[in-house]
Amino acid sequence: MGRILGIDLGTTNSVMAVMEKNGAVIVPNSLGERITPSVVGFTKSGEILVGKKAKRAAIMNVGRTVFSIKRHMGTNYRVRIEGKEYTPQEISAMILQKLKQDAEDYYGEEVNQAIICCPAYFTDAQRQATKDAGEIAGLKVRRIIDEPTSSSLAYGMDKGEDQVILVYDFGGGTFDVSIIEVVSGVFQVLAIQGNTHLGGDDFDKRIVEFLVDEFKKAHGIDLSEDPIAMQRLKEAAEEAKIELSEVKESHILVEAITMTEKGPLSLDYTMTRQKLESLVMDLIELTRSPVNQAIEDAALSLDKIDTILLVGGTTRIPAVQRLVKEITKKESRRDISPEEVVALGGAVQSLALAPIEGDIEDTLAARYGREKPVVIHMTPFSLGVGLEHDQYSVIIERNSTYPTEAKDIFTTTRDFQEAISFPIYEGEEQIASENTFLDLLRIEGITPAPRGVPRVEVTFRLNPDRILEARAEDLATGVEKKITIAATDARLSESEKQRMVKEAKDRVSSMLRDRIQENRVEEAQSILSRAEGVLTSHSGHPMVSSLKTKTNELRTLMQEGGDEKKLGETLDEVNRLVTIMETAAG
């Protein structure tokens, strides 16, 4: 069956994990690091950088570097680079493709399956866009799983005890809170709340705005008008935020951030933890209401919640930890890295999707007391259709477990009507248009009859990825219409998706060719160094002339970028001559 990656496709950073014999483990990237920045950069030469390389080069690629694309998933947002537009799915696919390639390099084999984790409060369109991104990257997406649920798998299964878990997940761009009950190894989601537009990025923005204001007061210069200065400030703000989770003061120094007639000016400011908290406390407070609402939705009192899990890098901030303790009256668990726990849980979830080798299965059964995890998910939004006079008819209720199916019967409002359109919405408002519009389900070919006579059955099915499939059927004729929902503005056509898949494959092929070329160049440089040593120490050898000719030919091929076959043949010949001369000398 092959390995299945558990992937936390994060706003700020992404992480991948797999299930091994002794449990879930993090898979390092090509730099040997456990976390990969979710950053994509486009150089002037046309190279696409992903991860740490893209983040480091951001100052040189201002206007050509993409951060926090996850915030735009499921929307019609486009990134425009050098005249070409990229969808959020394409940019996300580049990040996923990087993770896939790094995993393949690490294991030395193809890795083409994944469970991708996303915020529990992601809408149907955002989940579909996430799945599309995985498919564009060349991954078979086995499941889209909620991040809080994934986190509880990483924690809860190790303990093997019944408990109620509150997962407070505060990442770079999103906030979720889920309450999950674990009974005999079965994980049932009881409540979900959140905010898909609140995260650590907002904290960074507050720090940057403050520093811009302070600099303007001191020097009369508005740094916000300088893109390069703003990128440098953004990096400095993020570093200060992270540092202030551990210490009480952070010295922010950005040298020569701008030029004046008198020379360069630097930004120099010492930020205290107290000052940071004053800048962001209102953002932290925005998480209080969702937590309280989730507890109310779960119909639980605080004393019934056994475990509080903190997930996401933003939970490292002491003020966040204090707020959670104030609300829950309990200490939180942080014994698994908040940046890694989601991916680890995704790897655990892979046990439910594929057969595993016997020795691994035996070990896991002994460790967990069962072979595979069982998760009962819940949707945080109601799903329904809009009717005449902007009425909203809910078909799948909020907090329903899924996968699930529900249906209702509707009829015509005009005599001899031959078609009915059902606008599909997601939300809790009684007025249909005040909810989030997802798509339009239209059935044609209804047998003409007086109004109120035709009976059209509308069926909603939430699949295991919590992606909505809708069907309308005229019960008299059997005529039906089916659609899989995606936000109209964000939907990719099949031809668009195939184009993106092809471009992604071409990028991988190009990357592999470049990697082979780099290895060839390194090998050639090493051989040339050996050849120079042999020519110096064995100038009287009869093969000196042949070696000089071939080394000069090799240098020319390297400089001119000669064809791969010729380069390889020449490299082999130089290596052969050097080896003969070294052996003879020995």
Candidates 102, 169, 201, 340; catalytic one: 169
For 551, the 3-state DSSP assignment is helix
Q: Which two tokens stand for residue 30?
A: 């090509």
Q: How far is CA 162 from CA 186, 188, 351, in A?
A: 9, 11, 20
Candidates 147, 176, 204, 238; catalytic one: 147
How many helices (H) and strands (E) would you count in the chain? Answer: 14, 27
Say if residues 504 and 488 touch (Cβ distance below 8 Å). Answer: no
Q: How far is CA 135 from CA 196, 245, 336, 377, in A?
A: 23, 37, 30, 23
Candidates 70, 98, 100, 234; catalytic one: 70
- β-pairing, 436-444 vs 4-8, is unpaired
Active site (annotated) includes residue 225: no
Residue 398: which H helix or E strand, with range? none
Q: What's the one-letter identity of residue 253? A: L
Give the total residue count for the chain. 586
Say if residues 402 and 464 touch (Cβ distance below 8 Å). Answer: yes
| Residue whose token pair is 């001369």 | 581
Residue 370: which H helix or E strand, with range? none
Say if residues 181 and 322 touch (Cβ distance below 8 Å). Answer: no
- β-pairing, 456-462 vs 468-474, is antiparallel
CA pair distance 197, 220, nearest whole angstrom: 33
Active site (annotated) includes residue 217: no
Active site (annotated) includes residue 70: yes
| Residue whose token pair is 């020995």 | 586
CA pair distance 239, 255, nearest whole angstrom: 15
Candidates 8, 135, 204, 339; catalytic one: 8
Active site (annotated) includes residue 147: yes
CA pair distance 391, 431, nearest whole angstrom: 6
For 245, the 3-state DSSP assignment is coil
- Would you name the residues annotated as active-site residues? 8, 70, 147, 169
